Amino acid sequence: MKTIIHTIALMALLAANVMAKRVPPSVVPPIVTEKSVFSVPHFPEGERAQKGGVVEAREPKTNKLLWQVQIYRTQYNKELEKDVQDVFITSLTLDKVHNLLIMSDEKSRVFILNLATKKVTQIE
């Protein structure tokens, strides 16, 4: 009987640990043009305080960073694990006619980035 109780307690602890973790973010394919490769790096390089929410452009031949724009900020609750609060971009589309990048995130919000001005607009 004691073994069963220990087994159940161990399973409960393992289940609680698994529930606190999130699944990895979706892979968002980059958009390649003659002048730029647009992508959404999920995990920060350097001094970014949050994961996700960033679009960057790189030079296609050299991979040199041309610019990086934070699309949204994630407000973290200090009482919760940070990784379960991360919000990642899930889709990226280029509107060549209007020179816009359109993206959505895991919260189903839609954002537009004007490539000429780097201004971000949330539409949903």
How does pLDDT run across 23-32, given as a tens digit for each residue?
A: 888 899 999 9
Instruction: Please name the amino acid found at residue 54.
Output: V
In the predicted structure, residue 122 carries a pLDDT above the cut 50: yes
What was the pLDDT predicted at 16?
Answer: 47
Distance CA 95, CA 29 (A): 16
CATH 2.40.10.480 for the 26-122 domain, yes or no: yes
Which sequence spans correspond to the domains of the chain? 26-122
Indicate the pLDDT class of residue 51, thresholds 50, 70 and 90: confident
- 86 vs 47, higher pLDDT: 86
Distance CA 31, CA 18 (A): 34
